[in-house]
Amino acid sequence: MENCSEDYRIQSFDVDTQKLLKTALKDPSSVNLEKVSNILVDQSLKDPLFSKEAGRICYTIVQAEAKQNNGTVFRRHLLNRLQQEFKEREETRKRSLQGWVCYVTFICNIFDYLKVNNMPMVALVLPVYDCLMRLAQPDALLNEEEVDCLVLQLHRIGEQLEKVNSQRMDELFFLLRDGFLLQEGLTSMARLLLLEVLEFRAGGWMLSSTAHKYYYSEIAD
């Protein structure tokens, strides 16, 4: 089933690019992996659905390359490109809120999927935290799209992030708590999402079934 879903996600590309990506998934050393990484990042920055799923494709290529020749070429190019986009994150946010949210989703997705010896990649920990801290700033909390992105990422990788740097997580949640209590102009949905994620972490990165019913019936309404 996984290959089917990967094929499905690749359908959005032209025929030549589809062929390149399918080859990269099976025989990475035979293709230009810098080009592959750029294609995946470019698509992730403009396609919200793809940015949520691209980590799996990247993971498959990394695994295939390691198995083939113990190589890390694709991972190196991917991290270089993520670093480049990270440096330009504020310009991206000013230019396109969707592009910014897609970038955060993508880097968190990569953090979730790509591990070294079953541990998160150290190189990604601080950039991921910096992105989430940016989403917790007062101007970002006024945008539901950014609050939604922040909460989704914390649900996905919050517990992993806290294990590698609990102090930064404390700092992030101080911002979220202050935003929830003090920020003027928050929408009722943003306030609800913030309250939910505060309770989620307080419960050990879990919600009780009662709390889950409460928040998700409110969100559905």
Domain count, the chain: 2
pLDDT tens digits for 114-124? 998 888 999 99
pLDDT tens digits for 35-59? 999 999 999 999 999 998 899 999 9
| Nearest C-alpha neighbor of 83 from the set 144, 41, 44, 29 | 41
Q: In the numeric block, which tokens belong to residue 47?
A: 């396609």
pLDDT tens digits for 172-219? 999 999 999 999 999 999 999 999 999 999 999 998 788 777 777 766
**Do 182 and 212 reside in the same domain of the chain?**
yes
Has residue 1 been placed in a domain? no
pLDDT tens digits for 154-176? 999 999 999 999 999 999 999 99
| pTM, to two decimals | 0.91
Identify the domain containing residue 200 by its residue range. 118-220
**Do 216 and 167 reside in the same domain of the chain?**
yes
Q: What is the CATH number of the domain that holds 141?
A: 1.25.40.180
Has residue 6 been placed in a domain? no
Has residue 7 been placed in a domain? no
Has residue 29 been placed in a domain? yes
Has residue 168 been placed in a domain? yes
**Do 97 and 125 reside in the same domain of the chain?**
no
- SS3 letters for the chain? CHHHHHHHHHCCCCHHHHHHHHHHHHCHHHCCHHHHHHHHHHHHHHCHHHHHHHHHHHHHHHHHHHHHHCCCHHHHHHHHHHHHHHHCHHHHHHHCHHHHHHHHHHHHHHHHHCEECCEECHHHHHHHHHHHHHHCCHHHHCCHHHHHHHHHHHHHHHHHHHHHCHHHHHHHHHHHHHHHHHCCCCCHHHHHHHHHHHHHHHCCCCCCHHHHHHHHHHHHC
Q: Are 121 and 114 in contact (CB under 8 A)?
A: yes
Place of tokens 């939910």: 196
**Do 126 and 201 reside in the same domain of the chain?**
yes
Please say which residue of 87, 116, 145 terminates a domain. Answer: 116
pLDDT tens digits for 56-107? 999 999 999 999 999 999 999 999 999 999 999 999 999 999 999 999 999 9
